[in-house]
Amino acid sequence: MCVAYREDATPLSTDMCVAYREDATPLSTDMCVVYRKDAISRSTDMCVVYRKDATSLSTALLSESPEILEPFFLGCDTRNPKIVQICLTAIQRLITHEAVSSMASTNLITCLWNLMESGTEELKVLQTVTLALSTNQIVQGEVLAKALVLCFRLHFTKNSTTNNTASATVRQLVAVVFERLQTEDTLPNEDRVAELNVEELKVGSRIPPKSLRPCAADAFLLFQDLVQLVNADQPYWLIGLTEMTRTFGLELLESILTSFPETFLKHSEFSFLLKERVCPMIIKLFSPNIKYRPGVQLASQQVLASDKPFFPITMRLLRIVSVLIQKYYIMLVTECEIFLSLVVKFLDGDKPQWQRALALEVLHKMCVQHELLKSFCESYDMKPHSTKILQDIVNALGSYIQSLFLSPSSSSQVSTFNSQNPPVSMTQGQPPALVAGMPVGPGVTPQPAFSYRSVWLPIVLIFSPGTCKPT
């Protein structure tokens, strides 16, 4: 293995060449067992780095990176764990020094894909993909999609360690794609970009809108495919992704919407996806939670599993709804009206307790934001032909609190306890005692009330369970 470097090279470049030589020397020795010696010589001879016209050694390494990486790709093809570890370590070092060109990145991702399919050094493969995508922006377009699919597929392996590592890798790389978009937005746009064509957006495609620059196009296609996968549809851009759990997809969407609201507010293309794809998807997935009422179905009716609310899905949907209302209310006024109405219905008395608890959590996050409540009042309650959202929220909360006081199960438990353990000082013919003017005692249930600063405030208006009526 011969690696030459210029005498005027910087110390960093010189150290990189020395490290490269240290990685390549044991590789050439180990590969002699697998490949013929003449084949190794031809591959290693291509790794001589010396260009008289290069301004720096880093430039020379970058321009010759396809040839430099070739021996390591051959080493990975052996599927020998020892050789693969040496090769991936050397590749990671070259990536860290930004000595991998965009042309070489295509071969790199293909090499990592082959290792993924053979199940070789999966954790090392994930490390290499993360470095390749986060160090710079050489991996773009279809190569980027292939790298993401690689990580998605490792997420669904049977090995728990690989599964968890791939899950964290996917979350990190999805954020990296949108961080690239943010960086791109800060740069001046010298190229003239085409105008937005809404008709093209209505039909899903693996071709990004012409109005987007490269990093924005990658983020657009990624977000579009995540919505497709959550909807149980085939992706356009993430070719080769064979499976995807809905819960994981919803978590990724929530992470994007939470961390990058300015992207959707600035780019019309992303706003379109939010209004026309995400919002209808959420309403569709909410359907089982609204229709299903435990105990109401007839015995002759068979309730399918898809017709029942599923806690992991519902929880993630409500989190996304909470993010949409808090961060995207300005652009989703109509959609937020639907979402708020759905959340209020979750507080109905015939809903499961976990649904009501989740709805309370979402409503609490909104009610502590005064400006948001003010917007609800201005956009809905003060409009003549609009839903009185704020009034419905107040009534739903009141109905829920009263249902806790008037719970039949609680009353029956108290009655049973009193009948089994009658107080010694009371007899059946004894009149009930009065506490703050309210009758209490055997056979008498105190009227529900609030105690505010030692003042007993009885509830004089009773709502029927499961309905929200105006006060």
Q: Which domain holds residue 107?
A: 1-139
Angle between helices 389-405 and 333-345 (to 10 degrees): 10
Domain final residue pick, 405, 422, 441: 405
In-domain check, residue 170: no
Return the SS3 of 413: helix
In-domain check, residue 20: yes
Q: HSE of 429 in the Cβ direction (CA atoms, 13 Å)?
A: 0
Alpha-carbon torsion 91, 93, 96, 102, what sign?
A: negative
Domain final residue pick, 139, 159, 175: 139
Residue 289 scores a pLDDT above 80:
no
Residue 345 DSSP label: H
pLDDT tens readout for residues 268-283: 999 999 999 999 999 9
Q: What local confidence, expressed as pLDDT, does residue 418 receive?
A: 46
Residue 300 scores a pLDDT above 50:
no
State how far the Cα of 98 lies from the Cα of 93, in Å rounded to an integer. 9
pLDDT tens readout for residues 129-158: 999 999 989 999 999 999 999 999 999 988
Interacting residues of 183 by C-beta distance below 8 A, sequence separation 6+: 215
Q: Are 172 and 134 in contact (CB under 8 A)?
A: yes
Domain final residue pick, 113, 139, 165: 139
In-domain check, residue 44: yes
DSSP-derived secondary structure for 165-203: HHHHHHHHHHHHHHHHHHHHHHS---SPPPPP-HHHHHS
In-domain check, residue 277: yes
State how far the Cα of 438 lies from the Cα of 426, in Å rounded to an integer. 17
Tell me which of 149 and 349 has the higher pLDDT.
Answer: 149
DSSP-derived secondary structure for 416-457: HHHHHS--TT--TTSPPEEETTEEEBTTBPPPPEEEETTEEE
Task: Give the predicted TM-score (pTM) of the model.
Answer: 0.79
- Total number of domains constituting the chain: 2
Interacting residues of 247 by C-beta distance below 8 A, sequence separation 6+: 312, 313, 316
Residue 184 scores a pLDDT above 80:
yes
In-domain check, residue 4: yes
